[in-house]
Structure formats: structure tokens, C-alpha cells
Amino acid sequence: MTAYVARRLLLLVPTLLALTVLAFLFVRALPGDAAVAILGPNASAESIERLRETLGLNLPLPQQYGEYLAGLLSGDLGTSAVSQRPIAGEIGARLPATIELSVAALLIGVPLGIALGRFSARRAGSAADATSTVVAVVAVSVPVFVLGLTLQYVFAVLLNWFPAIGRVTNSGAEERITGFVLLDAILSGRPDLLLDGLHHLVLPAVTLAAVPMAVTARIARAAYLAESRRPHVRIALAKGLAPAKVRRDHIAHNSWPPLVVVIGLQLGALLSGGIITENIFGWGGLGSLVVSSIRTRDYLVIQSGLLVLALIYVLVNMAVDVVNARIDPRLRSAR
């Protein structure tokens, strides 16, 4: 197992290196640059050129990449061209918000998806199955911003059940310890703030949970059905084993591996959907940072932001593989 993890970790190096190249080239393929974005339409060509020099945008691309990589290797993510702040700090300040939202969305989406999937698998072909299929298809195909704005309008504006934006009420009483609102509320022993944080979390988390919920439901249904049709299930039932026990030990358990893989992959949807969700709900996370940086062509922030997102994605998927190897002994021996 240790060797397996070590090898996966080693593979990270070329993956991330390729990623830095891709991110670097991607942002430079965007038309326009930060100097133009910062100085705006009234600026003279001369001052744009001067700022470009200050920002190092006039250097040859290989040199710019070399400097960026050298910085990365020494643990320096660089400096934002727009705010002139160190990027590591910018990302660090926003990461808790993104993680909190993603985890909440996973906690809502995955159990709901599994429950829905198994529910329809057990009733395959029934009206209930058809309904849940429709729900899943709708959830996966409604664009995140449409769902987000609609939920916001209905539940915040019309019904006033939940706040429309933000992570907290801004009462001034919050204490920033870890940057995780819920965790900070617990650490500082403030149940009111915990409730306030949860209250704010509901709409964005539900918005973001829609896609993972739907995908998980589809996979859970398929995996459950596939397992339930296998010969050993029939034999177990024929031997007179209690159906509930068969479902738990022979069907549900064996349908886990494909599910775990899909849940890991859902993180990609969470990270991309998170960018939109964060913008709608004024959720100051990594996603909104990347979006605003694309608008201002803040190259290094985009590069480093993407790198951190990708790193999370890669690490989680690695963790998923490891978990799977534990669940399914066949994966271990197959190595």
C-alpha cells in the first residue's frame, strides 16, 4: 500500500508540471493583458508600455515561464499584478470558503444521490424510478447560474427563508481563527454564529450539490442494478438469506467502488460549478478570485489559482483510488 501511494505521489510531479505549462499558455492565449486591464481605456500607449515593463510582461515567454517556475519551486506563488499582494495569501484567505462550500455540497449531494439511486434501482421500471430519472436529468442539465439565481430569487427574495448572499451576517462578532466559518463558530463557542453560517450555507450548497447529486444517483442506480443481477445474489436469495441482508452485504457493498470513483470525479464539477455559485452568492472563495482575475488578466493569480484547484483535484482523486483499493481487494492484487 505504501509503495502504491508513493508511486502515485511521484506521478504528481509530471502532472503538475504539465499543468503549469498549460495554465501558463492558457492565460497568455487570452487577448489583452493586465497592463491594459489595469490602466483602462483612457491610458496612453506609453504608460501601458511602462506598466508592462514593471510587470515583466515584455519579457520573452520562456523567460516569464522560467521565472514563474523558479518562484514556484521556492514556494513563491508570485504577486498579483492588480492588487500587488502576494498570491499565496490571497489564495489562502479564500480557500476555506471554497472548501467549506464544496464539502457541504458533497455532504448534501452524495448521500441524497445514493439514496435516490438505490431507491429507483429497487423499483426499476416503476413510475417512481422514472420520476427520479427525470429529476436527475433536470438537475444535471440546468445551468448552475440559472439554478442559483432561481433559488436565490425564490427562497431569499420572495420567501425570505434564507439569506441571498454571503457567508455570515456581518454582525462584526465573528472571529477569524481558521477562516472556516463553521469551524470558527465552534471553536469560539458561538452556537448562534454556527446557525448563522449554516443558514447562509444552504442555498449555495444546494445549488452546487445539484450536479453531483444527479450524477451520483445515476451511477448508484446503475451499479446497484448491475450488482443485484449477479449470480451470487440470486444464489444467496435462493439459499434463503434475508433480502435485507442480501441488499446490504451483497449488493450495496459491491456497488461502492464505481460510486467512489464517481464521487472523486464530481470534485471537478464542484470546482467548476463552485466558480459560478461563488459569484452568485457573494461567496468569497477561490472561484470568485479566479473569475475576477480572468477579467483583469492577472496572469499569475489565474495560473496559481488553477494550479491550487488542480492540485486539490488530483489529491482527492488519489485519495479516492486509495480508498477504493481498501474497499475492493481485487484492485490491490491487480497492481
Partner 1 sequence: MQDRKSRPRGRLLVVAAVLSLALSACASADSNSQSQSSEPVDGGVFRLATVAEPAGLDPALVFDGDSYRINAQIYETLVTLAPGTTSEVVPALATSYTPNEDATEWTFQLREGVTFHDGTPFDAAAVKFNFDRWKNFPEALQSRAELYGTVFGGFGDAGILESVDVVDERTVGLRLSAPRPDLPITLTLPVFSIASPAALQEYGADEVDAASSEFANEHPVGTGPFVFDSWTHGDRVELVRNEDYWDEPAHLDRIVFKAISDAAARLNAVQAGDVDGADMINPRDVEAVTANSSLQLALRGSCNSGFVAFKSDQEPFDDPRVRQAVSHAINKEAIVDRFFGETGEPAWLLMPESIPFHDDSLENPEYDPDLARELLAEAGEPNPVVDFWYPTDVTRPWLPDSQGIFQAIAADLEAVGFQVTPRSATWTAYLQDSKTPAYGLFLLGWSCDYGAADNFYGGAFGYIDSAPNPRYQYTSDEFVAALETAQVAPEDQREAAWAQVQRIVYDDLPVVPFVHGSSSLAFSTRVHGYEPNPVLVEHLDDVWLSD
Binding residues (CB under 8 A) for partner 1: these are 30-33, 35-48, 50-51, 53-54, 79-80, 82-86, 89-90, 93-94, 97, 145, 148-149, 152-153, 156-157, 160, 163-167, 170, 172, 176, 279-282, 284-285, 288-289, 291-292, 295, 297
Give the list of residues 6+ apart from residue 333 with CB closer than 8 angstroms, or none. Answer: none
Closer residue to partner 1 (CB): 258 or 284: 284
DSSP, res 163: -
**Dihedral pair phi/psi, residue 59, rounded to 5°:** -70, 155
Instruction: Give the shortest CB-212-to-partner 1 separation in angstroms.
Output: 22
Are 39 and 50 in contact by the 8 Å Cβ rule? The answer is no
CA–CA separation, 327 and 261 (whole Å): 12
Closer residue to partner 1 (CB): 268 or 282: 282
Task: Reduce the DSSP state of residue 79 to 3 states and report it.
Answer: strand
Instruction: Give the shortest CB-172-to-partner 1 separation in angstroms.
Output: 7
**Residue of 255, 8, 236, 263 whose CA lies nearest to 113:** 263
Closer residue to partner 1 (CB): 17 or 187: 187
Cell of 256: 461502492
Give the list of residues 6+ apart from residue 194 with CB closer than 8 angstroms, or none. Answer: 182, 185, 186
Closer residue to partner 1 (CB): 2 or 84: 84
CA–CA separation, 236 and 41 (whole Å): 74
CA–CA separation, 316 and 110 (whole Å): 15
Instruction: Give the shortest CB-151-to-partner 1 separation in angstroms.
Output: 10
Instruction: Give the shortest CB-180-to-partner 1 separation in angstroms.
Output: 13
CA–CA separation, 146 and 162 (whole Å): 18
Are 271 and 102 in contact by the 8 Å Cβ rule? The answer is yes
Closer residue to partner 1 (CB): 258 or 282: 282
Instruction: Give the shortest CB-99-to-partner 1 separation in angstroms.
Output: 13
Cell of 194: 454556527
Q: At what angle do helices 299-327 and 256-280 cross, to 10 degrees?
A: 160
Closer residue to partner 1 (CB): 163 or 264: 163
Closer residue to partner 1 (CB): 119 or 162: 162
Closer residue to partner 1 (CB): 133 or 292: 292
CA–CA separation, 260 and 134 (whole Å): 23
Instruction: Give the shortest CB-41-to-partner 1 separation in angstroms.
Output: 6
Instruction: Give the shortest CB-206-to-partner 1 separation in angstroms.
Output: 15
Instruction: Give the shortest CB-101-to-partner 1 separation in angstroms.
Output: 12
